[in-house]
Amino acid sequence: MSQPAAVPILERRPLLWRDGARAASLGLPPFVRAASGVVAHPRGLLVVQDDVLAVAVVDAATGLADAVALPPGQGGARAFDVGRGNKAHKLDFEAIVRPPAACGWDALALGSGSAPGRDRVARVRLGARDEAEVVEARAFYAALAADRAFAGGELNVEGAFIDGGDLVLLSRGNGAARDGVAAVNAVGRVPLAGWLAYLDRAARDPGAAFDACLERVRQADLGSLGGARLGWTDGATLGGGAFAFVAAAEASPDAVEDGPCAGSALGVCEPDGSVRLAPLVDATGAPCLEKVEGLALAEGGRAWLVTDTDDAARPAELLGVAWAALARRG
């Protein structure tokens, strides 16, 4: 079967809090917004937001979500945007993974590392009483930024997933050139056991050394859509070294500032680094101009995507697509 020319969006629903009064009491906006990563869990889809300190536990059938609050940030706030005058203080959680049960946490959300203060990892435990904490992971992000083959001109960790014994990281190539080094889309691996052990140490001592290393770094050219360069925003393992990914074509000046989005695409990266991708389109075949930032694979060749609207007045959306045809080689 040949590669599809485009991947249609089959389902679309806004992400709304199930209990708006509780969300408001936690200092959250009236809906899930700026969704930047998603991972499947028995309780639902776990969605992290880059400008709100809460993980949303989403019922995929309805889009309704329960909030797991993260510790408040600067000034006691859990929401950060231009209107509040505190956008610079957001922790910018851009990816979320589900670690092995033995580590004691249900989800780990990673900051982008794109600016000071964004070198954090949130740890979430779901239960009768949900728990969450934020770990300063300075040495880990310093190691990522120092690897120019991975970070390029500006580090911007936008996607992550677990593949066997590795944490796989995706650095999005939408940054600015620095010191003659251009922005790159890159993938790298960190031994998972070493990373989890480091987080335990960093939770006790933010200055703890990171003694694992970034391995098998590889760069990828994803092309462009609508005149804007594609940069991957999330991924999910397919096994055997292959992974599915989503990418957005955002005309941003650097890894911090937002820009207009010309489209998003779904793709597959093979173990040899070769890439196949197809743009996302709506039910009419028109390009999907939303910035898609999260990917969770589902049964039956389906996948769930989440969007970041870059608009504090609009909810993020959950998109359902079929991706199996793209996964097959032509």
Domains of the chain: 7-327 (2.120.10)
Q: Which of 229, 157, 227, 210 is nearest to 186 (CA)?
A: 157
pTM of the model: 0.95
Question: Given pLDDT bands bounded at 50, 70 and 90, which one contains residue 261?
Answer: confident
Say how far residue 111 (Cα) sits from the centre of its chain: 9
Q: In the block, which residue shows the tokens 């940069």?
A: 231
Q: What is the pLDDT of residues 112-124, one digit of tens each?
A: 999 999 999 999 9
Q: What is the pLDDT of residues 192-232, one digit of tens each?
A: 999 999 999 999 999 999 988 899 999 999 998 988 899 99
Over residues 138-143, mean pLDDT: 97
Is residue 118 within 8 Å of residue 93, measured between CB atoms? no
Q: In the block, which residue shows the tokens 């590795």?
A: 166
- Work out the mean pLDDT of the chain and round it to a whole number: 92
Instruction: Give pLDDT, residue 48.
Output: 98
Instruction: Give pLDDT, residue 1.
Output: 33
The 10 Å Cβ neighbour count of residue 168 is 22
